[in-house]
């Protein structure tokens, strides 16, 4: 008998109720604090990094469920962090949402490099609607990632086809 655990949305599902860890990469103390507050209130565990080196170290050591990545970091920028995360076998499966004040004109290139989504930073700082949209995007990206990386998913398909 093959047992496959699936993310079902049920309040009692072990996979669905586990707290997710988010690495927030932001150099602005004010925006880092605001982002952390929103994420903690939503029930996430939060890791904080203020620059590229710290972000890459935390991502490799902790392997968070999601990275929220600012593009404008001191020294090495967010794009380089994204490229490094996606080239590393230990971190390549971690979804990354780019969160920036920069317009999303370069999002096509970021998406090609492995970014899951783009969110304009001012939207989650302005009002409850922006925060709701931000948290909804995070939830969707985490669900999509879990569906892609679900243990036993390919095994279950193999069992059904034999």
Task: Tell me the pTM.
Answer: 0.81
Each residue's pLDDT expressed in tens, for the chain with a length of 162 residues: 333 333 444 444 444 547 899 999 999 999 999 999 999 999 999 999 999 999 999 999 999 999 999 999 999 999 999 999 999 999 999 999 999 887 777 788 899 999 999 998 878 777 788 899 999 999 999 999 988 876 544 443 333 434
Tell me how far apart the alpha carbons of residues 117 and 5 are, in angstroms, rounded to a whole number: 26
Which fold does the domain 19-145 belong to in CATH?
A: Rossmann fold (3.40.50)
From the list 133, 117, 17, 122, the residue with the least C-alpha distance to 67 is 117
Run of H or E residues at 69: strand 66-69
């Amino acid at each position: 008998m093959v047992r496959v655990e699936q993310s079902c949305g049920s309040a009692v599902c072990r996979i669905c109720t586990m707290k997710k860890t988010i690495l927030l990469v932001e150099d602005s103390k004010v925006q880092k604090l605001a982002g952390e507050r929103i994420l903690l209130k939503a029930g996430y565990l939060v890791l904080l990094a203020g620059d590229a080196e710290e972000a890459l170290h935390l991502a490799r050591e902790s392997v968070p469920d999601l990275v929220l990545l600012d593009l404008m970091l001191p020294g090495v920028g967010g794009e380089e962090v994204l490229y490094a995360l996606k080239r590393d076998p230990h971190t390549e499966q971690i979804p990354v949402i780019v969160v920036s004040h920069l317009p999303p004109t370069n999002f096509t290139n970021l998406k090609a490099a492995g970014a899951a989504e783009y969110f304009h930073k001012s939207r989650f700082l302005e009002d409850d609607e922006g925060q709701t949209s931000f948290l909804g995007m995070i939830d969707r990206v985490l669900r999509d990632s879990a569906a892609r990386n679900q243990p036993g998913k390919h095994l279950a398909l193999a069992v059904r086809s034999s």
